[in-house]
Structure 1
Amino acid sequence: MSAAEQVALAHYRQRRQLIDALAAVARRAWRRVDRDDIARSWAAQLVEVVALTNAAQLAAARTADDYLDQVLDVQGINPAREGRLVPASVAGVASDGRTLAGLLYEPAVGTLSAIKAGADVDRALAGGYALLDMMVRTQLADAGRTADQVALAARRHVGGYVRMVVGNTCGRCVVLAGKWYRYNAGFRRHPRCDCIHVPASEDTGRDIRTNPRAWFDSLSAAEQDKQFTKAGAQAIRDGGDISQVVNARRGAYGLTPAGARITAEEARAIRGGRARGRLEAVDVYGRQLFVTNEGVTTRGLAGRRLGARDGSKQGRYRAAKTPRLMPESIYQIAGNDRAEALRLLKRFGYII
């Protein structure tokens, strides 16, 4: 691990302590909700939760300038800045622009909606807590990342950052890890994402590379299956390109990409509603198969391999007529024929 990575990891651990402490406060507050008067009792608890979330965001933001100074210094980059970050500017607000109070009241709304729809009260309250935990963790991490990026923008001698994955990360983050981004590039993340910025020049960033395949190989087979699904992990083990496999799942029917805000679909899933995020089979020439619309135009590898045509003269890219199969369906079709599975993985753009 490089010196820059060590500094970044220490920075992450400091932030993670704040996140865990805030999550513990939120858990205790939710336990005090009166099951017979959920809305009023949560509104009373919310005063403390919002105040402490704001304070935690402020504390996280205050570490940004010192972190930038240290991580740039160990890379031999001049840490001089045009100005200092104002920590309060990134605290006290949700990452989607709402007030913290408005955002953090949603678990009560979700719980009441679930009860109204027929859910058991205990189950509905558990779903509300899951949503609350996700929210406070995400909002604190977002405030810290925003502070880091603002502090980075103030350093004229550094052009960007490398995305570093930490902890038990997900496949969507792994394929983005180790890449160098300009200082003003948005930091793509999902709820509960732990990834962090490591400020670096385009040259020194090579020392902070996270190799997605090496990370995949470091996991046990069970962990690989859990992070990428059994079929997706098997496709990678068979030689599939990890980015192709993960990105295909992003556009699969029945999947929704992770966004900055907890969506209504995610909230319903948390409350025990319909399981959005699972694959759904569609009819393909009379057979129920899993397909994706990701990468099926001429701009995508799979699209070119499947015969997509360039319709750019009309200002659009036409998708291939042949549906792009997901790894699940490829293995279903190939059965125990490894050669056929590999042929299909290549045809549908999972192996390059």
Structure 2
Amino acid sequence: MIPAPTVEHYKRMQRLRAVAVLAARRAWAGVDSGDLSGSWQSMLPGLVGAVSLVQESGAVQGASYGAATLAAQGLYEAPQHFVNPEAFAGFASDGRSLQGLLYTAVPHTKGLIAGGMDVPTAVRKGGRFLEMVTQTTVADSGRAAAGVDTATRKNVGYVRMLNPPSCSRCSILAGRFYRWNNGFNRHPKCDCVHVQTTATAAAETEGLIHDPYEYFKGLSAAEQDRTYGKAEAQAIRDGSDIFQVVNANRGVKPGGLVTTEGTTRHGNFGRNGPRLTPEAIYGKGLSRADTLAELERYGYILPGGQNPTGVLRGQAEGFGALGRGGTRVGVRNAVEEARRTGVRDPLSRATMTAAERRIYDAQANWDAVRNGRNPFTNAKAAKVTPEVAARVEREYRKHILGY
């Protein structure tokens, strides 16, 4: 079976794509068919801002579900770095700016008109084209972040999850294990996602790897004809090799190589000059350590763990949630000492606010897991289960990284 966290991630991404499509539809409704370029230029900034926010949300989802997916298989592997979701917003997967991508609806529409289509129909089809590129770029942000998250975990790769109905090209790409540095081939409107796993588990776990032939057999003859083409479907039914019949590379491609988005002084990347996309970094054929260094250099992953004492806020009041009204001597003494000196011990839970304590515990629990200790029990022999590790990682992302 496909791990439940991956299925849930797909549903969340569907909702985010729907939000982006709705924003695109509303924006395109304001376009003036008499001044396509001018009117669309005035609508673009608002749409770019809206889609950028959805892209970042998609990247948060993509960066987060891998831990639970691995834990569900009993294969949890801690990340060596954490994905930076902000790095996946504001540009298209092929490297161009998001504004440049969304503007293409206008030349697409003008091309239809130049080909003889009446203006109202061309504008309507231009809107559908805009919706297609919008939902694709949101899906790509989630996939790209998931790919980087995979790269941060040793010995982890992925298999492709189909979400029927799937096209012929996606169906034959499913069912194989991809290493962490293999780009995710996709086409416009592709909704396939990564299922993080290991090579050994991918070979041994029934139901995780999808068989393209089983998918083909599960379709009716009419559905086979519609998905693969009438002649191609008949050839497969007659015993032809499905991989030879379907051209896996036609219309299916990885992301782009270079983007300039976020390279200004005020951008997310914060440096001038070209910025490589994650798949361009994978394509350099570097070692995993060097690849992680490049991903950090270009802003896709965050540096090592953060010190929660650097973000403490608030004042010490009362004896706190741990003080039991001052009846716990150690806590009462710590609070009174902080009041007397005006200085709180940043490592003492007794003088922390509830919010500070959540930050402190998230860091402490993550440190414990990384050292092989179960933070939820004092028993020295207690093992860190995959479920506990995934839970602690989730809390670390929430309270330390903010997503």
TM over 0.5: yes
- Following superposition of structure 1 onto structure 2, how do residues 215-226 of structure 1 map, counting pairs within 5 Å? 215-226=215-226
Residues in 2 aligned to 1:202 and 1:258: alpha-carbon distance in whole angstroms: 24
Partner of 2:237: 237
Partner of 1:190: 187
- 1:101 lines up with 2:95 in the alignment: no
Query: 1:231–1:116: structure 2 CA closer, same or farther, 3 Å change rule?
Result: closer
More RCO (CA 8 Å, sep 6+)? 2
Q: Which runs of 5+ in 2 are unaligned?
A: 257-403
**1:94: Cα distance to partner?**
0.8
Q: 2:170 aligns with which of 173, 180, 198?
A: 173
Q: Deviations over 1:42-69 (max 9, x none)?
A: 1122112111110001001112343011
AA matched with 2:106: A
Residues in 2 aligned to 1:134 and 1:230: alpha-carbon distance in whole angstroms: 26
Residues in 2 aligned to 1:186 and 1:99: alpha-carbon distance in whole angstroms: 20
Task: Indicate if the aligned counterparts of 1:68 and 1:79 stay in contact, CA closer than 8 A.
Answer: no
**1:117: Cα distance to partner?**
4.3
**1:135: Cα distance to partner?**
0.6
Q: Deviations over 1:113-167 (max 9, x none)?
A: 33344331012212311221111011011110000011111112x3311111113
When normalised by structure 2's length, the TM-score is 0.60
**1:261: Cα distance to partner?**
7.8
AA matched with 1:9: V
Partner of 2:228: 228
Task: Indicate if the aligned counterparts of 2:62 and 2:146 stay in contact, CA closer than 8 A.
Answer: yes
Partner of 1:283: none
Task: Indicate if the aligned counterparts of 1:167 and 1:194 stay in contact, CA closer than 8 A.
Answer: no
**1:31: Cα distance to partner?**
1.7
Residues in 2 aligned to 1:69 and 1:58: alpha-carbon distance in whole angstroms: 19
Task: Indicate if the aligned counterparts of 2:169 and 2:252 stay in contact, CA closer than 8 A.
Answer: no
Task: Indicate if the aligned counterparts of 1:95 and 1:143 stay in contact, CA closer than 8 A.
Answer: yes
Please list every run of at least 4 consecutive aligned residues from structure 1 whose deviation after the TM superposition is greater than 4 angstroms. Answer: none
- 1:163 lines up with 2:160 in the alignment: yes
Residues in 1 aligned to 2:143 and 2:45: alpha-carbon distance in whole angstroms: 25
Query: 1:258–1:63: structure 2 CA closer, same or farther, 3 Å change rule?
Result: closer
* Alignment RMSD: 1.8
- 1:58 lines up with 2:52 in the alignment: no
- 1:24 lines up with 2:22 in the alignment: yes
Residues in 2 aligned to 1:47 and 1:25: alpha-carbon distance in whole angstroms: 12
When normalised by structure 1's length, the TM-score is 0.68
- Following superposition of structure 1 onto structure 2, how do residues 210-289 of structure 1 map, counting pairs within 5 Å? 210-247=210-247, 257-259=251-253
Residues in 2 aligned to 1:197 and 1:41: alpha-carbon distance in whole angstroms: 39
Q: Secondary structure at the match of 1:62?
A: helix
Partner of 1:15: 13
Q: 2:127 aligns with which of 98, 116, 129?
A: 129
Residues in 1 aligned to 2:109 and 2:127: alpha-carbon distance in whole angstroms: 9
AA matched with 1:138: T
**1:260: Cα distance to partner?**
5.3
Q: 1:92 aligns with which of 80, 90, 93?
A: 90
Query: 1:220–1:79: structure 2 CA closer, same or farther, 3 Å change rule?
Result: same
Residues in 2 aligned to 1:234 and 1:143: alpha-carbon distance in whole angstroms: 37
Query: 1:176–1:116: structure 2 CA closer, same or farther, 3 Å change rule?
Result: closer
Residues in 2 aligned to 1:214 and 1:170: alpha-carbon distance in whole angstroms: 14
Partner of 1:346: none
**1:245: Cα distance to partner?**
1.1
Q: Secondary structure at the match of 1:175?
A: helix
Residues in 2 aligned to 1:65 and 1:25: alpha-carbon distance in whole angstroms: 24
Task: Indicate if the aligned counterparts of 1:22 and 1:56 stay in contact, CA closer than 8 A.
Answer: yes
Query: 1:258–1:200: structure 2 CA closer, same or farther, 3 Å change rule?
Result: closer
AA matched with 1:195: C
Task: Indicate if the aligned counterparts of 1:160 and 1:181 stay in contact, CA closer than 8 A.
Answer: yes
AA matched with 1:188: N
Partner of 1:149: 147
- 1:34 lines up with 2:32 in the alignment: yes
AA matched with 1:120: D
Identity score, percent: 40
Structure number with larger C-alpha Rg:
2
**1:213: Cα distance to partner?**
0.9
Q: Secondary structure at the match of 1:19?
A: helix
AA matched with 1:257: G
